[in-house]
Amino acid sequence: MNLATTEHLTYKHRILGEYYGSENSPTVVIFAGIHGNEKAGVHAAHLVIEKIQKENIQFNGNLHLILGNINALKQNIRFHDVDLNRIWHQSALNKFKNGHQLDYEESKEQKEIFLIIQEILKRPGPFYFLDMHTTSASSVPFITISDSLNNRKFSANFPIPVVLGIEEYLDGPLLTFINEFGHVALGFEGGAHNDPSSVINCEAFIWKALVHSKCIDASNIIGYERFKEVLSNLCCEYQFFEINYRYQLREDENFEMKKGFENFEMIHKSQLLATSNGRDIYAPSGGRIFMPLYQKLGEDGFFILSSVSKFWLKASIAVRKLKINHLLRLIPGVTKDPENNYTLIVNPHIARFLTKEIFHLFGYRQQILKDDKLHFIKRDRNITEL
Ligand SMILES: [Zn+2]
- In the chain, what are the domain boundaries? 3-230, 240-307, 325-378
Topology (CATH) of 240-307: OB fold (Dihydrolipoamide Acetyltransferase, E2P) (2.40.50)
Q: How far, in Å, from the CA of 351 to the mean position of ligand 1?
A: 37
Q: How far, in Å, from the CA of 201 to the mean position of ligand 1?
A: 15
Q: DSSP H helical segments within 139-266, as ranges?
A: 149-155, 174-179, 196-212, 224-230
251 CB neighbour count, 10 Å cutoff: 5
Q: How far, in Å, from the CA of 109 to the mean position of ligand 1?
A: 16
Surrounding residues of ion ligand 1, Cβ less than 5 A? 35, 38, 133
How far is the C-alpha of 328 from the C-alpha of 378, rounded, in Å? 12
DSSP-derived pairing of the beta strands 142-145 and 255-257? unpaired
How far is the C-alpha of 343 from the C-alpha of 115, rounded, in Å? 27
For residue 383, the model assigns a pLDDT of 52
Give Cα separations from 52 to 25, 45, 198 (angstroms): 18, 11, 20
Q: DSSP H helical segments within the chain, as ranges?
A: 40-55, 70-75, 90-98, 105-120, 149-155, 174-179, 196-212, 224-230, 310-321, 356-361
For residue 315, the model assigns a pLDDT of 81
Note the pTM of the prediction, 2 decimals: 0.87
3-state secondary structure of 300: strand
Q: How far, in Å, from the CA of 132 to the mean position of ligand 1?
A: 7
How far is the C-alpha of 193 from the C-alpha of 198, rounded, in Å? 7
For residue 385, the model assigns a pLDDT of 45
Q: How far, in Å, from the CA of 349 to the mean position of ligand 1?
A: 37
Q: How far, in Å, from the CA of 315 to the mean position of ligand 1?
A: 32
Question: Which of the 8 DSSP states describes residue 161?
Answer: -
DSSP annotation string for 18-33: EE---TTS-EEEEEE-
How far is the C-alpha of 111 from the C-alpha of 69, rounded, in Å? 11
Alpha carbon distance, N-terminus to C-terminus of the chain = 34
Q: How far, in Å, from the CA of 193 to the mean position of ligand 1?
A: 9
How far is the C-alpha of 164 from the C-alpha of 32, rounded, in Å? 21
For residue 382, the model assigns a pLDDT of 63
CA 103 from centre of chain: 25
Q: How far, in Å, from the CA of 124 to the mean position of ligand 1?
A: 29
* 204 within 8 A of 41, measured Cβ to Cβ: no
Q: How far, in Å, from the CA of 301 to the mean position of ligand 1?
A: 15
Bridge partners for 133 per DSSP = 189
Q: How far, in Å, from the CA of 321 to the mean position of ligand 1?
A: 33
Backbone angles phi, psi at 318, to 5 degrees: -60, -50
Q: Mention the CATH class of domain 3-230.
A: alpha beta
Helix (H) or strand (E) holding 191: strand 184-192
How far is the C-alpha of 179 from the C-alpha of 366, rounded, in Å? 12
For residue 386, the model assigns a pLDDT of 45
For residue 120, the model assigns a pLDDT of 94
Q: How far, in Å, from the CA of 50 to the mean position of ligand 1?
A: 24
* 193 within 8 A of 40, measured Cβ to Cβ: yes
Q: How far, in Å, from the CA of 386 to the mean position of ligand 1?
A: 24
Residue of 290, 160, 155 lying closest to 212 (CA atoms): 155
DSSP-derived pairing of the beta strands 184-192 and 127-135? parallel
Q: How far, in Å, from the CA of 53 to the mean position of ligand 1?
A: 28
How far is the C-alpha of 274 from the C-alpha of 261, rounded, in Å? 10
Q: What is the mean pLDDT of each run of 10 residues along the chain (386 residues)?
A: 58 89 89 96 97 95 96 93 90 77 85 93 92 92 92 92 86 89 94 94 97 96 93 74 91 92 93 95 95 84 91 82 74 80 79 71 73 77 54
